[in-house]
Amino acid sequence: PAIGCVTAVTDARNLSARKLPDRLEFQNTATTYRLFKGEQCAEYTFEIKRAEWCGLAASRQPARPPN
């Protein structure tokens, strides 16, 4: 079976980790709040659907030179 969706979860405080899904054009779909080592923190959930990923990949293909 094909993968229909890719999900990434990052700590909101980690700017470097948040940049990657943004750069790959994932959509921010949720923010959840959790306790981590006794501290309240936010986690961002990013997703990209297969159709979106395939569309992005196709649009980034280099143009073929004319024959």
Banded pLDDT at 10 (limits 50, 70, 90) = very high
46 close to 10: Cβ distance less than 8 angstroms: yes
Domain ranges of the chain: 5-59
Banded pLDDT at 35 (limits 50, 70, 90) = very high
> Residue 54 and residue 6: Cα distance in Å, rounded?
12
Banded pLDDT at 3 (limits 50, 70, 90) = confident
The count of C-alpha atoms lying within 13 angstroms of the C-alpha of 38, restricted to the half-sphere facing its C-beta, is: 0
